[in-house]
Amino acid sequence: MSDGNTAGPVAHGGTARYSSVAIVLHWVIAAAIVVQLILSTRMEGRTPQAFAVFQLHKSIGITILLLSLLRLGWRLTHRPPPEPPMATWERALSRIVHVGFYVIMIGMPLTGWLMVSASRLSFPTLLYGVVPWPHIPGVAGLAAPQKALAHEIGEVGHLALAWGAVTLLALHVAGALKHQLFGADKPVLARMAPGARAGRWAEPRLALIVAGAAAAGLFALVVVPPVARSPALALAPAAVATPAPSTPPAPQAEASAPPPPAEASGSKPAEATQWTTSARSSGLGFETAWSGTPLRGHFTRWTAKIQFGPEALDRSMVVVRIDLKSVDTGDEQRDATLQGPDWFDAQAHPVAVFRASRFKAEGTGRYVAIGTLDLRGVRKPVSAPFRLALTGDNASADGTVTLDRKAFGVGVGPDAGSDGIPDEVKVVFSVKARKTGPGPD
């Protein structure tokens, strides 16, 4: 007789059973598969909740993969208990089902991992919101046609294995019930449920298994994974001291202000002052919604070149450069999606640039900066109203600009999943600055 840590069968009540390690792995993996099959029905739609369920689904899938590899290694190094007497066809079917389960337990996570690694949206994987999990080496860097093919292979394989899991699960359960309820001479259940007595309908361990399966299914139906919160702009100041990547100057880049009108009195015209922004108290972010759920984000790296004077609006100008790869919405996977080709396309267009060389006064302390925004290679005119407060050498400005994201090609691709996101997005800024000197003559 051996214990749960040795190779060979373990005697329990006169019946050989699997080792304790094999039994625990069997039931944990079985419960996880039930959860996965039901969770997959809750991932439809483009909502924050469905996205969160998808992340949980990925986490459990990788867990199944690791546990299945451990189970296979244990099986190869520890001899299983002898099988009870069976007909030849039953023994053959049993082996097919067991081999099939290993294919599914390992193949389904692998095909799912392949889909994520080859996704156009570049979803990173963070297991249970904590542990980063890499893409399959080499897949994410494939050329677009090969990447699309890899994704299709993963998708077709994943779906086929999912249906295979349902079929094998039904066969496995049916076989176990047949031997338990109608085969007193075939103690099959006792091999994985020590102490179970074949032929006994009112078997407590069978009832416990049914209850466990029901609990796993109920968990999959009601679990509400946390939806990542969006950081508030006021709590996430931009690191404006870190320069954003440079871009080649556009044809109209940083156009100089028009020459000031001639002064009839011959007095020196008012000067536009140069200002330096404060990294600690400035912020640049955006506000939108996702299927009715408010969504806020900000950029952690941007620079602002400011030359402004209330009495020298014709000599004022501002250039803001935004590093699109620094987007932060409080969720790494969502941020990676925003940087992808269907949204900011930060790989091809890493920097957005707002330039303004015209300003209008709209009342006391209220102005409008009139310029252009270059985003994703698209340039559009943009007017940015703002409030300004001057105290000695210090300035404080804040404002909100509403942009049509589709006008810049943001989130318009077939796979963008932007149905639940409004076309109009608010860009919010709050700037603290200090005078550093007069503007150029």
Structure tokens at 64: 């199944």
Cα four-point dihedral sign 130, 66, 116, 166: negative
CA dihedral 237, 238, 241, 244 (to 10 degrees): 180
Q: Which of 212, 213, 185, 210 is nearest to 197 (CA)?
A: 185
CA dihedral 285, 287, 293, 297 (to 10 degrees): -10
Do 377 and 348 touch, CB atoms closer than 8 A? yes
Please compute the mean of the pLDDT values over residues 176-182 and round it to a whole number: 81
Overall pTM surpassing 0.95 (yes/no): no
What DSSP line would sit under 272-299, residue for residue?
A: PEEEEE-TTT-EEEEEEEETTEEEEEEE
Q: 418: pLDDT confidence band, cut at 50, 70 and 90?
A: low
384 vs 262 pLDDT, higher one: 384
Q: 439: pLDDT confidence band, cut at 50, 70 and 90?
A: low
Per-residue pLDDT, 87? 81
The rounded distance, in Å, linking the Cα atoms of 29 and 38 is 14
The rounded distance, in Å, linking the Cα atoms of 133 and 265 is 71
Q: 316: pLDDT confidence band, cut at 50, 70 and 90?
A: very high
Inter-helix orientation angle 332-339/48-77, to 10°:
110
Asked whether the predicted pLDDT for residue 407 surpasses 50, the reply is yes
Q: 274: pLDDT confidence band, cut at 50, 70 and 90?
A: very high
What DSSP line would sit under 183-205, residue for residue?
A: -TT---GGGTSTT--TT-TT-HH
In this structure, of 302-311, 415-424, 427-436, the range with the lowest mean pLDDT score is: 415-424
Instruction: Please give the backbone phi and psi of residue 15, each rounded to the nearest 5 degrees, phi first.
Output: -120, 130
Amino acid letter, residue 279: A
Best-predicted range by mean pLDDT (119-133, 201-215, 267-281) = 201-215
Which residues make Cβ contacts (< 8 Å) with residue 432, sequence separation at least 6? 277, 278, 280, 281, 282, 394, 395, 396
419 vs 171 pLDDT, higher one: 171
Pure H helices in 232-359: 332-339
In this structure, of 218-227, 237-246, 347-356, the range with the lowest mean pLDDT score is: 237-246
The rounded distance, in Å, linking the Cα atoms of 353 and 345 is 14
Please compute the mean of the pLDDT values over residues 350-364 and round it to a whole number: 94
| Per-residue CA distances from 284 to 297, 348, 358 (Å) | 9, 22, 21
What is the average pLDDT score of the chain? 82
Per-residue pLDDT, 361? 94
Please compute the mean of the pLDDT values over residues 285-307 and round it to a whole number: 89
Which residues make Cβ contacts (< 8 Å) with residue 29, sequence separation at least 6? 64, 67, 68, 71, 105
CB atoms within 10 A of CB 114: 21
pLDDT in tens, 81-129: 887 777 888 888 888 988 999 999 999 999 999 998 988 766 678 888 8
259 vs 81 pLDDT, higher one: 81
Please compute the mean of the pLDDT values over residues 280-289 and round it to a whole number: 90
Q: 257: pLDDT confidence band, cut at 50, 70 and 90?
A: very low
Do 278 and 339 touch, CB atoms closer than 8 A? no
Asked whether the predicted pLDDT for residue 49 surpasses 50, the reply is yes
Per-residue pLDDT, 14? 41
| Per-residue CA distances from 178 to 101, 191, 199, 358 (Å) | 19, 15, 9, 83
> Which domains, and CATH codes, for the chain?
10-222 (1.20.950), 233-438 (2.40.128.110)
CB atoms within 10 A of CB 356: 21
